Chain A
Amino acid sequence: MRRRVVITGMGVIAPLGNSVDELYNAHIEGRNGVDFIRLFDARRFPTQFAAQVKNFDLGQYVKEPERWADSGANSRFAAAAAQQALADADLLDNHKVDRTRCGVYLGSGEGIQDFNNLVSLIAQTYQASERKVNAAAFAREGLRRFHSGREFEQEAHTTPGHLAAYFDLEGPNYNCLTACAASSQAIGEATEMIRHGDADIMLSGGAHSMIHPFGMTGFNLLTALSTRNAEPGKASRPFDLNRDGFVLGEGSGMVVLEELEHAKNRRAPIYGEISGFGTTADAFRVTDSHPDGRGAVACIQQALDDSGLAPSDIGYINAHGTSTQVNDKAESVAIKKVFGSQAYAIPVSSSKSMMGHLIAAAGAVELIISLKALNRGVLPPTINYEVPDPECDLDYIPNVAREQRATHALSNSFGFGGQNVSLIVSRFRG
């Protein structure tokens, strides 16, 4: 029999909560985490709002916050969420556990570019008539203006590297970045590493913030974001007919994954089990997901096959549900293809309606919300659901949380480029 992988710790930093309970309770209350951007002056951007993390102070979580002094928000969120998850799992300074068998597998975003220095420097060295930047002038000034620490911390391996160094996790160390599917993919592959015996414990999840000028620019240019500037709180409306794009969020979600016997032997709390993982590619277009949900169907099916569960065993689906026209339709089509007529009986909701899209970190935070929902027996709603879309006709738990018992939840994550990941998380049963 293959090694079973359970969740023994969880931590989050997210727009509606800087702890798992605070976040879950906000989602059950159907609160909205979207507001005008305060991190920079976005008043003249096509999109002027986002779901930002609030009241965050890294010093509340780690003793040496200065280690992250030059890091971007992604690494700082990651450190705080990791501290919560490891404390929850009793793995802080716990030397009874073989630290060489504890690894890290994140799906974290890149750091944040030094927008002001880069743009002002390009402005100064760009020769419009030739459409060229004077490379020598750019280099000469760049070497003076850019900050070495901040530049280094943009590299994606620094996020898992700091966690391993600070929390003493000396096993395998990975970061994957498959756009909006990244942290789900990380949790899936980390689960496989434990199943295979490459580690007994993996700290896994993701962290990301793209609420910065380049991030907003990139998504605005792709016309992927909602531009409902008149009412930001209504902007993220997955599956609603009048949805017009997604809303950027930011944050981190971390779980401690552990081999079942290992967890039992050290009497760790067991919150749930990762029972299924599927990952596929659309191989269709870099911008759009496949209209028939081709890759998503195969991915959900793969996760079901991996879990050995029947479609009817799934009692809740935490959708990718971005609030874009294309995703929500294709995802609904995919769910119907896999679950057939039963699809209408399975409650589906999108956490992004409340906290926006955490990009690389989205999947991990949504998995944590899903597991809390299973354990508490209350399923979070999809808020801002006002006008049903005939092409999205499933039960999206509109606006109000629902008391309903479920044992197994499916959490979907799909990313630009056609990246699909599905995870199945289950209430723990010995």
Chain B
Amino acid sequence: MITGVGIINPIGLTKGQFWDSLSMGRSGIRTISSFDASALPTRIAGEITGFSGKDYVDKKERKSIKIMSRSIQLAVAAAQLALDDSGIDKSQLDPARFGVEFGAGLIASELEELGPASQISANCRPGVVDLQQWGSQGLAHMPPLWMLKYLPNMLACHVSILHNAQGPNNTITENDVASLLALGEAYRILGRNLADFFLVGGADSKINPLSLVRHSLFMPLSHRNESPEKACRPFDRGRDGIVPGEGGGVFALEELEHARRRNAHIYAEVVGFGAAFDRKCDGTGLARAIRVALREAGIAPRDIDHVNAQGFSAVASDVWEARGLQEVFGDCNPPVPVFAAKSYFGNLGAGSGTSELAASVLAMEHGQVPRTLNYEDPDPRCPLAVITGQAQPVRRDHLLKISFTEMGQCAAVVLRKWQ
């Protein structure tokens, strides 16, 4: 059972703001402001402004902020919000049955921390570093706990330490599909009766010089710098690539009886999960993951209210995503509506799956599914019923969320509205 939602997102630092932006069609994609991005081919992003991790931790824990990179801070904050939203009194929780599971990405080094050590060890010759200088002099100029800021498992570890969660604890590092795999695994662990309560989700930030240089080199990013709000356009014929973003999305996931005993508000129930590898990147593996999740949920494709898509806004992957969806939903009449949350805030990497799913969880709560932004000229190679124009009322009890990577790792989760 999902009993809490915590969101730190370019379109809102609370669940309320997040929903307001979704229902008003307000994009969070802007020109990058946190550093000078002028030399990058992509100068726009779903960037969070006005966020500070220390606002989300107790005073006595604030010194630990120093060893939290931005991804960790986003995770800690979203986890705190999810916990608050669940209304749980931590003293009611058995620490041994309180789990934490996150999807996390590669965390880029903060360049400044390496500045003095680098200058001691390298002069102006590109690609040449004097390792003897680095080893003998450079290290002294780096913070002792340097590495701990960048270990991907530190998202889940800090959350477990801050909340005394001594139960199962895992970190999935599987790029864009990571947080959905984490959710699926936490759901399985609850099913094995090894926990009562989980904080599960993902957080990631690529809005820094090193990550954006790296991603510019190997990822098809959008270059639509002159119109940021129009840049992320999943399934639209004019899409030209992925828009990077940052954020965290965390759920409180709780066993039913545990939630009932404390009269918790239940948003939705996880009823199906599937994962697969799409070896040829042609949608077959994606369709397989979806079928597994639907079968576990005991429902047919037509029972799905809407699909919360991956919708990268990339030229190639949107096509094979559509093909996978067609394979499962092609016979549905009327067609199953599709919503692509990235159109609002870009690609949150390892944090994307659960952040995007949060939009659908709130949609079930409010009775309407937001429209997908920038869907203006349907791409005939993506024959999907993308929700456009205006929000659409919720008509059915189940929704499907899918995530995948460009290499072919796929996951699908089915939620049921709680009655």
| Cβ contacts under 8 Å, B123 to chain A | 123
Select B405's contact among A140, A161, A193, A298, beta carbons within 8 Å. Answer: A161
B173 at the interface (CB under 8 A from A): yes
How distant is the Cα of A117 from the Cα of B125 in the complex, in angstroms?
10
Give the interface segment out of B79-87, B164-172, B337-345: B164-172
Asked, given contacts A46-B135, A124-B124, A128-B116, whether A281 binds B36 with beta carbons under 8 Å apart, the answer is no
On whether A140 and B39 interact (CB within 8 A), knowing A176-B170, A185-B170, the answer reads yes
A147 to B127: give the CA distance in the assembly, Å.
12
A156 touches B106 (CB 8 A): yes
Q: Which chain B residue lies CB-closest to A133?
A: B111
CB distance from B388 to the nearest CB of A (A): 32
Q: Is the CB of B275 within 8 A of A128?
A: no
- Is B216 on the interface with A (CB-CB < 8 A)? yes
Number of A-B contacts (CB under 8 A): 309
B23-49: which residues lie under 8 A (CB-CB) from chain A?
A: 35-41
Q: Is residue A45 within 8 Å, beta carbon to beta carbon, of the partner chain?
A: yes
Q: Are B218 and A149 in contact (CB under 8 A)?
A: yes
In the complex, chain A residues whose CB is within 8 Å of the CB of B148: 222, 286-287, 416-417
Minimum C-beta distance from B112 to chain A (A): 6
Verify if A94 is at the interface (C-beta below 8 Å from B): no
Q: In the bound complex, what is the Cα–Cα distance between A171 and B181 (angstroms)?
A: 13
Residues on B with beta carbons closer than 8 Å to the beta carbon of A282: 160, 166
Query: A310 — which chain B residues lie within 8 A by C-beta?
Result: none
Per-residue CB proximity of B130-153 to A under 8 Å, as 1/0? Answer: 011111101100111111100111
B279 touches A164 (CB 8 A): yes
| 1/0 contact string of A279-300 vs chain B (CB within 8 Å) | 1111111110000001100100
Segment touching A, from B50-58, B206-214, B245-253, B358-366: B206-214
- Given A126-B115, A155-B175, A285-B161: A419 and B153 within 8 A (CB)? yes
Instruction: Answer whether residue B288 sits at the interface, using C-beta atoms and an 8 A cutoff.
Output: yes
Contact-residue bracket for chain B: 35 or more
Nearest-CB residue, chain B, relative to A280: B166
Q: Determine the distance from Cα of A418 to Cα of B139 in the docked complex, in whole angstroms.
A: 26
Is there an interface contact between B175 and A139, defined as CB atoms closer than 8 Å?
A: no
Judge whether A151 is part of the interface by a CB distance below 8 angstroms: yes
- B39 to chain A: which residues have CB within 8 Å? 135-137, 139-140, 143
Structural contact, A135 and B277, CB atoms closer than 8 A: no
Known contacts: A41-B132, A44-B136, A281-B169. The answer to whether A170 contacts B174 by CB under 8 A is: no
Contact indicator A156/B175 (Cβ below 8 Å):
yes
The residue of chain B having its C-beta at the shortest distance from the C-beta of A109 within the complex is: B173
B36 lies within 8 A of A142 (CB): no
Determine whether the beta carbon of B115 is less than 8 Å from that of A146: no
Q: A116-B129, A126-B112 are in contact. List 6 more A-B contacts (CB 8 A).
A: A120-B127, A123-B121, A161-B407, A168-B279, A218-B147, A294-B166
* Shortest beta-carbon contacts, A-B, top 10: A218-B147, A417-B157, A172-B275, A156-B173, A161-B407, A45-B135, A44-B135, A126-B115, A281-B169, A123-B122
Could you jot down 19 A-B contacts, CB within 8 Å? A41-B131, A113-B109, A116-B127, A123-B123, A123-B129, A126-B116, A133-B111, A134-B36, A156-B175, A157-B407, A161-B408, A165-B407, A170-B285, A173-B277, A281-B167, A283-B165, A286-B157, A286-B161, A294-B166
